[in-house]
Structure 1
Amino acid sequence: MSRALSLLATALVVAACSSSPKKPQPTPLAPAAALMGTQLAWSAQVGQSGVSLVPHVAGGRVFVAGNAGVVAALDAATGKDVWRLNLGTPIAAGVGSDGQTAAVITGNNQLVAIADGSERWRVRMPARSFTAPLVAGGRVFVLSADRAVLAFDGKTGARLWTQSRPAEPLVLSQTGALLAVGDTLVAGLAGRLTGLNPDNGAVRWETPVATSRGTNEVERLVDVVGPVSRIGNNVCARAYSAAVGCVDASRGTPVWTRAAQGTTGVHGDDRLVFGSETDGRFLAWQRANGEPAWSIDRLKYRSLSAPLALGRVVAVGDGSGIVHLISREDGSEMTRLTTDGSAILAAPALAGDALVVQTRNGGVFAWRPQ
């Protein structure tokens, strides 16, 4: 209990320290461009949502959750419920799934596995988590806020192993990085990407994205935040308010790193990596070497989500529920999409040919190109 209370207190400290007494007004938007056609394919509702409740696509389904306890698997083509379950307790992070088993973490630190719309098992976690579980290879992996990675048996919930890293005074109440790259489990631990053996948790390699510096604990907080951008073995990630960099995950060697002040994750394609700075300036970096490709200022102070690169555009949501589709070549506007007017907190997702977003008010929206 004391450990959990300590983590909660430090998370609140970080939130308080990162807030501003008076925020700049969002940059007014020019008249919308209409350089590409889109059509709303479907919409659904899961209830009020938070930044750690990220839409997840697997097995032709879109998995979503709401703060109050609803978890749903939606048909990616139609948006209709495949199944829907109310866990009866608030949800703090999720959803992760391999298309069959889904997993979320509740507000009272329980990891819950769901299969075919029924709860399979539930286990108590030793610390809070703000990152969706990773379900892969018959196991469920969790990145906890105290910088530990845990593995559980997907059928029984039995804990298989735990890999703990040195604790630091503050933790970040934000989605971290946890993904599979080949036969390696890659996790963001403090300012490093760490490659683990998924069978036993042994560390295979560690590569810094940013080095902790500064005169106080807040300035030294450089946790890797999600989402990250993976193309083959190349993984690009952001260290909170410090840097963006890419790592060769096959060998655990750095490719490049560049100072950057953003606090949300990145995404990209085989040529470019995209992300925004704290003030909303949106940038593209060359994936090969980190050199700047372009930047735009027209979305400043609009509380941007993490982006999603898809085809010739990059999608990013804002604090007023608008999805901006931006040309990947130069950042020019292609079109805008509207939701329910509440903030888009998590990165958009791609379900087949549909772009999917989830809003703070729990609306789930999917568009397809015309």
Structure 2
Amino acid sequence: GIACIPGPFGSGKTVTQQQLAKWADADIVVYIGCGERGNEMTDVLEEFPELEDPRTGKPLMERTVLIANTSNMPVAAREASIYTGITIAEYYRDMGYDVALMADSTSRWAEALREISGRLEEMPGEEGYPAYLGRRVAEFYERAGRVECLGNGKMGSVSIIGAVSPPGGDLSEPVSQNTLRVARVFWALDAKLAHRRHFPAINWLQSYSLYVDTLEQWFVDSVSANWMELRNEAMKILQKEAELQEIVQLVGPDALPESEREILEAARMIREDFLQQSAFHEIDTYTSLKKQYLMLRTIMKFHERAKEAVYLGVPFERIKEMRVKTDIARMKEVPEDQIEKRIEEIEEMMNSEFDALMRG
């Protein structure tokens, strides 16, 4: 598959890619530091040997290929680093391995193309990039995919996750736009979310995945029959929150009807208790799909019960003060082997509190 992670400086592109490298279901990880600052590449060299491989318990570096191209290296080397990385990935793919390639960042690779194109006195395109930028970007990303290896009959694959560093976070610039034409997953990192310390700072309204329909049956078989239904309902709540925020900024949340205040509270719980995640927390650093489903199902059950309570005349302030909300917020810190039992306890507590509220 192909994914791109565009975002401004400090929005968490490198940490996101490192987390993907650690937890991806891949046999080999190829990490390309293309035009990165020397201190960033030093951090990667120091951190990857310390990262524990969740499969084997050994250092992650043992199955990682690191291609270091710092910003002070020749511009031709910067262009070559991306091609070197994808060629190594294809080498392991042809041996029957699943390879995850992290390219950080393709924007600096495109800048190298622009500089070489200028020295060759080629006709410049938009913002000085060569006219063939779109073709080069597509040629790189289209080398991802799953193949049957000749000779041994094994299946191998290459998945590419490319970081894009648009100047000032402007996603309308040529590199971002040309990447969007070929990438099927788009994780838009938002500087505002990063400033609020909401990580990963992926904007849920701008981001999308074109693999959702393809994987729908897999989610039904492997996770739950109503996984997609829950996901779509959560997205509707987040979209409704974005619409209500314009009114809130003008008149404040207290001026809204209680039903709409409940929607804002449900959206806050989805954002803070489900989407927000700490890469440095021992348990919260990784959440299985099963745990994700149980967490989201609990939050949506709370939303349905709260909506029912508001309809029956329960004051919203009393719902906001419910003690079970603290337990819901801490679900992400519950270990995987204890999550089912803990979710059952939380749901029992939630139902008893709501029943007490409705009885008055």
Whether TM exceeds 0.5 here: the answer is no
Report the structure, 1 or 2, having the larger strand content.
1
Report the structure, 1 or 2, having the larger helix content.
2
TM-score (norm 2): 0.31
When Rg is computed on C-alpha atoms for both structures, the one with the higher figure is: 2
User: Which structure has the higher relative contact order (CA within 8 Å, separation 6+)?
Assistant: 2
